[in-house]
Amino acid sequence: MNSRRNFLQKMAGSALALPVLSSITTKAHAAKPQPPYQGPVLRVAILGLGSYGERVAEAMKDCQRAKLVGLVSGTPAKLKTWQAKYGIAEKNCYNYETLDQIKNNPDIDAVYVITPNGLHKDFSVRVAKAGKHVICEKPMANDAKEAQQMVDACKAAKVKLLIGYRMHFEPITLDIVHKRKAGDFGKVLFFQGLSGFIIGDPTQWRLNKKLAGGGAMMDIGIYSINGSRYMIGEDPIWVTAQEVKTNPEKFKEGVDETITFQLGFPGGAVASCLSTYSLNNLDRFFLDGDKGYAEMGPSTGYGPIKGRTNKGEVTYPHVTHQTVQMDEMSDIILKGKQPEIPVDGEEGLKDMKIVDAIFQAVKTGGKVAIKY
């Protein structure tokens, strides 16, 4: 298993993609065909033509409000292959050296940066300076300092910065968030997030400190961090954390294998989470309140997501997450839509500050205050 994406795909299974539907209204709309979309379309270039880039490209075939029109890669052969496969015009293809010339291309609105984490900051800043909106895969950077530089660069260039939080548009996730906001679970007291799989190839970039910024925490633990925030509806104010490393040869200095961490929230709720590269079957969320509960498993895989509450199952037709994500991001960029759960750079920056605090807590062995 070379990546969390392959693992999650295998674990969660696959489902027939339905026509693109708005995230939380999917169930209501699924019964009848929708009229052809007539509005503006976000024209996107993908930067980084790896396995996840291809997943996004395939998903965008079903988008109504976003279209793949450009490519950026450091591998000439990939550019040629993708250009033919997706019908991309030669003038919309760039390598890493010519990327800055994209500022002269009026046919590209946004660039989706899908590279190793350690390259996110530099590419995002270059895209922003070229005057294009930035969509960046999560985690948005190697640390909060880099994330802040990305936020600042996009603000200075007056372009939007969005982070690839596909779960923020997933209908079962949103339904449970709605139920929590409506008070169905009463006072929220506890959240548990389990995120992990057994990683394969020890030479891959995800086990390279410079490229990944860490290990399991950056790759898969970020789901429990982000999930704790949207499930509880608050940002944590302190963290404690413990690291376990059973294979120091594979997981070298600065590359975490397994970290358990605990988060405290201003309303009194606490979270207990596990991030690991050494255990399979870990993709679960549990939210507990004094009047009810919600659980999800799989909770962040590529789908279908499964959820239930103390009142029964929560079901919606499965729609490819990246298809919904890109259509929704089109509305955010072109129409100024405000998503129910934020996906902007400030949202990503908060997660990076929490990650930094977790690593600090591991080193110190104490409780670390999280400062936003």
Mean pLDDT per 10-residue interval, the chain, length 372 residues: 43 37 42 80 98 98 98 97 98 98 98 98 98 98 98 98 98 98 98 97 96 98 98 98 97 97 98 98 98 98 96 97 98 98 98 98 98 96
Active site residue 223: yes
Model confidence pLDDT, tens digit, residues 321-345: 999 999 999 999 999 999 999 999 9
275 Cβ partners below 8 Å, 6+ apart?
195, 196, 216, 217, 220, 221, 224, 256, 258, 259, 260, 261
Task: Say what the pLDDT of residue 268 is.
Answer: 98
CATH fold label, 13-165: Rossmann fold (3.40.50)
Q: Residue 281 in contact with residue 11, Cβ under 8 Å?
A: yes
Q: In whole angstroms, give the CA distance from residue 88 to residue 58.
A: 14
Quick one: pLDDT at residue 10? 41
Whether residue 115 contacts residue 205, with contact meaning beta carbons closer than 8 Å, is answered with: no
> pTM of the entire structure?
0.90
- Residues 28/33/38/43 CA torsion (nearest 10 deg): 80
Tell me, yes or no, if 138 is annotated catalytic: yes
Helix (H, G, I), strand (E, B) or coil at 111: strand
Domain boundaries, the chain: 13-165, 167-318+344-369
Active-site pick, 138, 160, 179, 353: 138
Q: What is the DSSP letter of 336?
A: -
Question: How many Å apart are CA 151 and CA 247, to the nearest integer?
Answer: 36
Residue of 94, 223, 277, 302 marked active site:
223
pLDDT of residue 33: 72
Answer whether 13-165 and 167-318+344-369 agree in fold.
no
Please state, as a whole number, how many other Cβ atoms lie within 10 Å of the Cβ of residue 364. 11
The class of domain 167-318+344-369 in CATH terms is alpha beta
Place of tokens 């376990």: 244
| CA end-to-end span of the chain | 36
pLDDT, residue 27, reads 45
How much is the pLDDT for 32? 61
Alpha carbon distance 283, 297 (integer Å):
6
Per-residue pLDDT of 49-108, as tens digits, reads 999 999 999 999 999 999 999 999 999 999 999 999 999 999 999 999 999 999 999 999
pLDDT at 35: 85
